[in-house]
Structures are given as structure tokens and as C-alpha cells.
Amino acid sequence: MASIAPTATPVHADPLDMHQYRIELLPVRKKGAFERRLAQAGIPLALLLFVLFAFVVELPFLQGIDPATLSSEAAKKEFAAIGSELFSQRNGYMLAIFAASMVLWATTALPNYLTSLILLISLVLTGVLPEQKAYAQLGHPVMWLNIMSFVLASMLVATGLAKRMALWLILKFGHTARTVFFVFILLNLVLSAFVSATTAKAAILLPLFMVIAAIYGARPGEGRTNFGRSIVLQNLLHNNLGASAFLTGSGANLLAAALIAGAIGSSVYFTDWMMAQFPIAIGLMVVGYWLAMHVFFPLAPDERVPQVEGGMARLKDAYDELGPISSKEVRAIILFVVILGLWATDKVHGVSPTAVAFLSAITALLPRIGIVDWNDVDVPWHLMLFSAGAYALGAGLDTTDLPAITVNAAFDHLGIGSHTPFWALYLLLTAFMTFSALVFESKTMRAMIFVPIAIGVANRFGFAVVSLALPVAFLIEHVYVLPFNSKPAALLYETDKYSLGDAFKYGITMMVIGWAVIVLAGETWFRVLGITPHGVFGWF
């Protein structure tokens, strides 16, 4: 599809025209003074860290690594193939690439896709990953799931079904801002039970909340409003919290459950995960709503009611103009329901979510009997390249086993031995998992790194694997603080409805609260469910 340069949407544009909210047509973001200073410092700092870790500083814990301490099978094979000295050198390169890429992503000194391309070639040229493994990350099954899901999301817009849904929601529930936000909490929860890709959920809902934001006065090219900040940031939060409520909420959840199942010799079931996490997710969503509406982004009186000229009557006229539902819209609804049903019953038929999305996208694109043309498809390819770099970084960390080596060195340095109580390990591991989201992009990467670490720590100290690994896995989805922390965060940041500071102050508050709730649940709710063993010493 031809690239279209992003342009600011004219002030007089119809706020109900959903085509103006295509991802590639979103206005170019203007950086604030703090963001500009960060960007200016990003490249020099990234280069400095790369040179230091790759060529100057030799960290003691990366020298003379004992292969018996490695937790990754890929790292064990790599160590046996190349020997101790070269393995340590590659760890140094991995640390250098990791540090430099985190700085570039965090400071937005370069576009995120360009940082990923630099990261990919750096992993190849330093020998951390072979070319085939590094470049193959663009073909990761989750990547294809996201691409096909964007095709299906575009179907909702191209057929007019998304506009019909948005207008119906507003006319039915949108007489006040409060009810609008609760509708999106419900939508995120429902989709999370079926759609195992948070980026796809964001793409599906983005046209809906963008047009509703415009209805309430937050229009492209007219500056930021608290309604615009709140609806986008709350959707980002609820997207991820909804995913945390279900085992099928994201591919990273499924990966974590598979890792834990392999360690304990039995499955982690859908109902087990939902019983533990669904109440927590609902509670955090309500807290997030209250904080946004009353603390961080309180609405002015004129933001609490629709601001479209003519009010609700204008919306009713626009809805009536759509006329009877078309055959394409009906086919889109049927296809969407079939997709959700197949995703929800994958244990019965055995077809993966990616394969279901493939078949559905093909059906939607078929000539004459299909629903959407390829020219109407809105795939953010820059985010796909961004993701490829993140997955390659995860593959490099797995091959070098840098996280496990670092944690073991830290445990030894701090004198954390067999006498360490359960609660201290629980606090430490859940904190690592929660706040690692500030420097990692990929949830899959964090699952691959921190769930095995939690399993290893549980085994090392003689505690039940689920008591430490499952709470760590429950924290995978807390990736909403900074734009590079997840693909949905990167996608929604491009809406220009909020600043980096807005996202950070709201997100870091919710992240700390999320961690505190998991800590509290470890001593209460998780004990009731049998996740936290009754025989371990508590902290209350």
C-alpha cells in the first residue's frame, strides 16, 4: 500500500468521518520541550553506553561464566559451541545493544522502527545472533496475528460498521462522559476474553474512541483536552488490564502458562487464571477510571457532554443517514462473531489464533464475495518493524542468558541465600517483573526472561513453582507507562491526544498500584486459591 505522508487534519473536518482516523493519517506529533531535550541526548548517550559495554568495561559477573548456572537451553548450546571467552564477549555485546536500544526507544531520538532496524543489524554484525534467526523475527506468529487483525479492524471502518457502532454506543450510553468510559471498560473486557493480541484490540477500538473523543471536543488539530487524554490513556490501560484477566488475553500469557506447565508437569487452566486475575483486573480498571477522572485529567463542565454542533440530535441525524444495515456490514458482523468463537474454542478444534486470523482475513479480502479491498487496509508497518526488533532482542537475551546471569550475580552479591524468607523473594520477583516494563518493549520477551527466573528461584529455595512464577506471570500486561513499552502504547501515542508526561504520571501511578495489589493478593486472595502455600511465612 502506498505510503501517505501524515498531515494535520483540518479543523473543519467532520468529526464523524472515521476515515480521518486511519493510523497512517494521524497528525505528526509535536514534541514538548522535555521530549526534545531527551531526543537530543538520546543518540550520544546510546553511543556512549554501547562503546562502554562492548569495548571498554569488562563486568566481572560476565567473565568466567559457569555453564551449570545457565537457565536457557539456547545459551547452554551456545556456550558449548563457542567456549567461555567468546560467550562472555557476546554477553558484553548483548548488554551494549540492549542498553543502547533502550535509550533510543525511551528518548525517541530515532523513530522506533529505525531503532529496531539498527538493533537487528547490530545483533548480526556482533555475532550475537545468526542472520537467519535475527531476520526471522519478522515472521513470528504473533506478528502475522497482528497483521491479519489489522486487516479485520480495517474491515470495520471500511464497511461503516465502526461508525454505526460508535454512534449507536453514544446514542444509547453516551449522554454523559461517565457512561462512555464504562462502555469502553466493558468492550475491552469482552474483547480480551477472545482476542489474544492487544495490538489488534487497540486497532479495533481506536476508530471508535477517536470519533467519540471528537464528539466530546477532542478533535485533531485543535490541541489536547482532558477528555482526549483520558479516553486514550484509559483505553490503553484497560486494553492491558483486560488482557491480564484471561489466559487467552495475549500470546505472552499463553507462553508464561506453557513455561509454568512445563516446570510443574500439569496445565495452567483458563479458569484458574481467570479466578485469580479477573477480580483484580476489574478492581484496577475502576481505580484507573477514578484516578483519571478525579485526579489526573478531571473534565471541564463542557467536556462532560457531547460538543458536536446540534448535540445529540446531530448524532441521531448522522445515525439515520447510515440507513439500513448493509449486506457488507452483516457479513462483517458474522465474520467477526465467527472469529471470536473460533479464538475462544481453540482447545476444541486445535486451530491456532494466528491461523484463524489468516483464514478470516483471506475471507474478508476475497474479490466479489469479500468485505474489504486491500487499498482500504490500514496496517502500521512501522510498528511491525518495531516489533521485529523487540523479538530479536528477546532472542538475543535468550541465547546469551544475560538476565539469568545478572540475577544470579545480584543474588550472590547481596548474600541472598537459602535462609531468605518467601515474602522477600515474592516482593523481589514481582517488583522485577512489574518495573521491567519500563525498559522492555515486548511482553513476550519479558515472559521468556522473568517467568523462567521465577521458576528457577522457586526451585533454588524449595518453594512451589506456582507460588512465585504465577504471580510474576500475572504482571506481564502492565505495559502502559511509556510509548515504547508495548505496541498498543506506541500505536496510541501517535494519536497525539496526550504527552509523554501525561502517560508517565498516570501510568507509573497505576503500575505501582498494580504491584501493590499483587503483593496484597499474595497474602490474601492467592492464599485462598492455593497459589501462595499456607506453609510459608507471611508478612502480615
- In angstroms, how far is CA 29 from the centroid of its own chain? 21
Q: Are 448 and 398 in contact (CB under 8 A)?
A: yes
CA nearest to 434, candidates 336, 522, 369, 536: 522
Per-residue confidence band for 22, with pLDDT thresholds at 50, 70 and 90: low
pLDDT attached to residue 347: 65
pLDDT band with cut points at 50, 70 and 90 for residue 5: very low
In the chain, what percentage of residues exceed pLDDT 70? 84
Gap between the Cα atoms of 157 and 164, Å rounded? 9
C-alpha cell at 29: 506529533
Distance of alpha carbon 219 from alpha carbon 27, whole angstroms: 11
Find out whether 43 and 379 touch, Cβ atoms under 8 Å.
Answer: no
CA atoms within 13 A on the CB side of 242: 24
Supply 58's cell numbers. Answer: 569488562
Model confidence pLDDT, tens digit, residues 51-70: 999 999 888 888 888 887 77
pLDDT value at residue 415: 73
- Cβ pair 160, 411 in contact under 8 A: no
Quickly count: other Cβ atoms within 10 Å of residue 423's Cβ.
Answer: 17
CB within 8 A of 369, min separation 6: which ones? none
Q: Residue 166 contacts by C-beta under 8 Å, 6 or more apart in sequence?
A: 18, 207, 208, 211, 212
Structure confidence by residue, pLDDT tens digits, 324-367: 988 888 888 888 888 777 766 766 777 777 788 788 889 888 88
The pLDDT value given to residue 166: 67
The pLDDT of 134-145, averaged and rounded, is 78
Q: What backbone phi and psi angles, to 5 degrees, belong to 47?
A: -65, -40
pLDDT band at 390 (very low <50, low <70, confident <90, very high): confident
C-alpha cell at 352: 491456532
Higher pLDDT, 169 or 226: 226
C-alpha cell at 88: 562472555
Grid cell digits, residue 128: 550475537
Mean residue pLDDT of the chain comes to 80
Could you write out the DSSP letters of every residue in 85-116? Answer: HHHHHHHHHHHHHHHHHHHHHHHTSS-HHHHH
Q: CA–CA separation, 215 vs 87, rounded Å? A: 57
* Neighbour count for residue 149 (Cβ, 10 Å): 26
- 6 pLDDT band (50/70/90 cuts)? very low
Tell which phi-psi region holds residue 446, choosing left (phi > 0), alpha (psi between -120 and 50) or beta: alpha
CA distance 366 to 359: 11
User: What residue ranges do the domains of the chain occupy?
Assistant: 141-239+290-376
Tens digit of each residue's pLDDT (9 = 90 or more) over 152-210? 777 877 787 767 876 787 777 767 778 888 888 887 887 776 566 677 778 777 777 77
Residue 487 has pLDDT above 60, yes or no: yes
Per-residue pLDDT band for 12 (boundaries 50, 70, 90) equals: very low
End-to-end CA distance of the chain: 59
